[in-house]
Structure 1
């Protein structure tokens, strides 16, 4: 995950100065969109998890304690990989050399790094063609007798026929994939409306479901055996379920996808970003309060380090031209909604990460999974809980503090620095006041997670029935 931060353009000598009204409008717009995503996403998450439990289906893609421990490290690796991807080749090696010096790496190793820089960034004087230069470098590592002239010439010709796959092409592919997923998320949100309309139309027929899947056997099998193999001997690499209404919804949303790919307008960006956030909060399942707390604490440190400690987060946020953040123009009053181009931004990670934790609290409020004590004493379930509402207010306060600090210092801020304490400590404080610290801390939906242990339990239950 590459998490972006809330930011506005830095104030420099020749920068545009925005009025308080302009800054307040853009901030309130981002504020409203983020709250909307969290509330709607949490409601849909509760409905989705409850439906899965009622149908006795295991929940896929859950974040358990194990995943929560690895998540910040995995996110850091991805983020740093993107950072190196956007850096020019010579700057990448120079950055590594400077870090090595700061970490007091022995001088001999720093010299080796510098030698690597010279070796791989210098262009050979024997050729100005990049393809031939690369082959000359490779050939210089191998004794000449192993690289005959004819093979060398053929390799140069073959390399020249290959399509160029550089940074721009990779960026276009990444943007398309993100936009397509965003349009698919938007389609899933409007599907209930589409279904209600389509069902009233004649000659449509029934809503036929489809399933595309890729299954792998866990042991060697003969051709045709995998279809009838037991579930313990196979596993799905991917499953994609859809129906005719999904296809119609996606076709209706395709103008948003096409428009954003061509225009990169902030309105289509926000449609995709909001849809992404709501569906992300709905389907990213935290298995327990402990896992959620560990995830928030890990990403709290992750956000602070990559924003304050380095320029990695801001560089990646500016380098990826894809709808991974919400935008609202500060110059909308001056240039109108179509020509405005100076934005305040809020990363989707600052919405989805607290959002999945808040969704967990809503499921706790609605007792999607009841504790043993509540199951034995049904009257206890009549007692109201307000953890979701209180934590939404806490998120609003944390986001307000983030934006206030951002405008005060005119610099990017790690939003999780302010959001995590608000979203984590406020519900714990409420639990302490209500005497429910143990119930909240031990709230666990792990028995509904799709893992090997639960699959065995479900399979044995089906056999007994």
Structure 2
């Protein structure tokens, strides 16, 4: 599993840098980058302890409405305020967020070369004048934050498409790695809601496309083209992260049963099919497309067909990662108490 993740990491890094040196077809670049990012994020999400914080059905139902409110707010900000001013504020925000995301992404590779106590000893720091606010970190995290800080400074000063993409990839990998849907029922509710959300804001209003073009921040991946009128193709990070956390749940379901990655393969294949179909339709109609319109039915459909074929619908629908996390925590507390005795 680790070898596959390392190969995918190397391939993703090479694919990201490739347009600097050779001509890469942007359509192929979109497909490979999106799929490799989901693959890496999924395998990084497999950890000994399941996520303790999971999304509830209520949160999943509210998510499209919260997302719509944020999207409309950004649209109004760009409409009534200076675009440069809004982007300057957002650059400061993403500068800090980028350091956190990049350091967290680099940490697993860096910490293995550092002393063990640098990874284990936690340092607590209180904000001046706000003693109730506390940040905990390790020396390894500080070391990982150093290259992240220089890189984010380069992004803020140059806004180069490569810097934008690397930050975007870090956000995607961290999102897929850290977020948990809890259950497939919650995942289906979230994806169904965002399926409608994406269609509405792309096809029925100019809001989504307008914000994507005005928002000068790493909320989208940029792929250089040879067309001077349209120098970049774009893919929103939500089209990677949202389906990615669903595919990652399928992988952790497989791991929890110790039966290999059978359902992960079908969900991941569905994601690939959805991304490919998005690119085909976009080029056919020469118009922006809501990627979730194609990705959501493909990812859920491929997984559903596989589960029904195996006759394991009940097992999949009963899987609840929050209960798994609770039982794991109880088990660790029990073992700790036995050691104390």
Equivalent residues of 1:59, 1:448 under 8 A apart: no
Aligned-partner SS, 2:137:
strand
**Structure 2 CA distance for aligned equivalents of residues 350 and 37 of structure 1:** 11
**Structure 2 CA distance for aligned equivalents of residues 59 and 211 of structure 1:** 22
**Structure 2 CA distance for aligned equivalents of residues 446 and 198 of structure 1:** 33
Does residue 81 (structure 1) correspond to residue 62 (structure 2)? The answer is no
Query: How does 1:220-299 map onto structure 2 within 5 Å?
Result: 240-299=135-194
**Could you tell me how far 1:185 is from its partner in structure 2?**
1.6
**Structure 1 CA distance for aligned equivalents of residues 335 and 36 of structure 2:** 41
**Structure 2 CA distance for aligned equivalents of residues 239 and 282 of structure 1:** 24
Equivalent residues of 2:26, 2:233 under 8 A apart: yes
Equivalent residues of 2:63, 2:190 under 8 A apart: yes
Does residue 430 (structure 1) correspond to residue 306 (structure 2)? The answer is yes
**Could you tell me how far 1:331 is from its partner in structure 2?**
2.5
Q: Which gives a bigger RCO, structure 1 or 2 (Cα 8 Å, sep 6+)?
A: 1
**Structure 2 CA distance for aligned equivalents of residues 306 and 247 of structure 1:** 40
**Could you tell me how far 1:239 is from its partner in structure 2?**
6.8
Query: How does 1:88-167 map onto structure 2 within 5 Å?
Result: 88=80
Structure 1 residues not aligned, in runs of 5+:
1-20, 90-165, 215-226, 228-236, 335-339, 371-380
Query: How does 1:47-446 map onto structure 2 within 5 Å?
Result: 47=47, 50=48, 52-53=49-50, 59-60=52-53, 62-88=54-80, 168-199=84-115, 206-207=118-119, 208-211=121-124, 240-331=135-226, 342-367=231-256, 381=258, 383-446=259-322
**Could you tell me how far 1:84 is from its partner in structure 2?**
1.2
Corresponding residue number in structure 2 for 1:94? none
Equivalent residues of 2:270, 2:301 under 8 A apart: no
Aligned-partner SS, 1:389:
helix
**Could you tell me how far 1:210 is from its partner in structure 2?**
2.1
Give per-residue Cα distances to partners, 1:15-41, cap 9 Å, x unaligned. Answer: xxxxxx97x711111221111111111
Which has the larger Rg?
Answer: 1
Aligned-partner SS, 2:234:
strand
**Structure 2 CA distance for aligned equivalents of residues 413 and 183 of structure 1:** 31
**Could you tell me how far 1:193 is from its partner in structure 2?**
2.9
**Structure 2 CA distance for aligned equivalents of residues 195 and 407 of structure 1:** 44
TM-score (norm 2): 0.82
Aligned-partner SS, 2:112:
helix
Equivalent residues of 1:287, 1:449 under 8 A apart: no
Equivalent residues of 2:273, 2:298 under 8 A apart: yes
Moved more, 166-175 or 411-420: 166-175
**Could you tell me how far 1:82 is from its partner in structure 2?**
1.0
**Could you tell me how far 1:398 is from its partner in structure 2?**
0.8
Corresponding residue number in structure 1 for 2:14? none
**Could you tell me how far 1:273 is from its partner in structure 2?**
0.7
CA-based RMSD of the aligned residues comes to 3.2
**Structure 2 CA distance for aligned equivalents of residues 240 and 359 of structure 1:** 29
**Structure 1 CA distance for aligned equivalents of residues 133 and 325 of structure 2:** 17
**Structure 2 CA distance for aligned equivalents of residues 400 and 365 of structure 1:** 25
Equivalent residues of 1:64, 1:446 under 8 A apart: no
Corresponding residue number in structure 2 for 1:38? 38
Post-superposition, which runs of at least 4 consecutive aligned residues in structure 1 deviate over 4 A?
237-240, 460-465
**Structure 1 CA distance for aligned equivalents of residues 153 and 230 of structure 2:** 20
Corresponding residue number in structure 1 for 2:29? 29
Give per-residue Cα distances to partners, 1:55-100, cap 9 Å, x unaligned. Answer: xxx713x2111110111111111111111111138xxxxxxxxxxx
Alpha carbons of 1:82 and 1:444: their partners in 2 closer, same or farther (altered >3 Å)?
Answer: same
**Could you tell me how far 1:464 is from its partner in structure 2?**
9.0
Alpha carbons of 1:331 and 1:463: their partners in 2 closer, same or farther (altered >3 Å)?
Answer: closer
Aligned-partner SS, 1:408:
helix
Alpha carbons of 1:26 and 1:179: their partners in 2 closer, same or farther (altered >3 Å)?
Answer: farther
**Could you tell me how far 1:463 is from its partner in structure 2?**
12
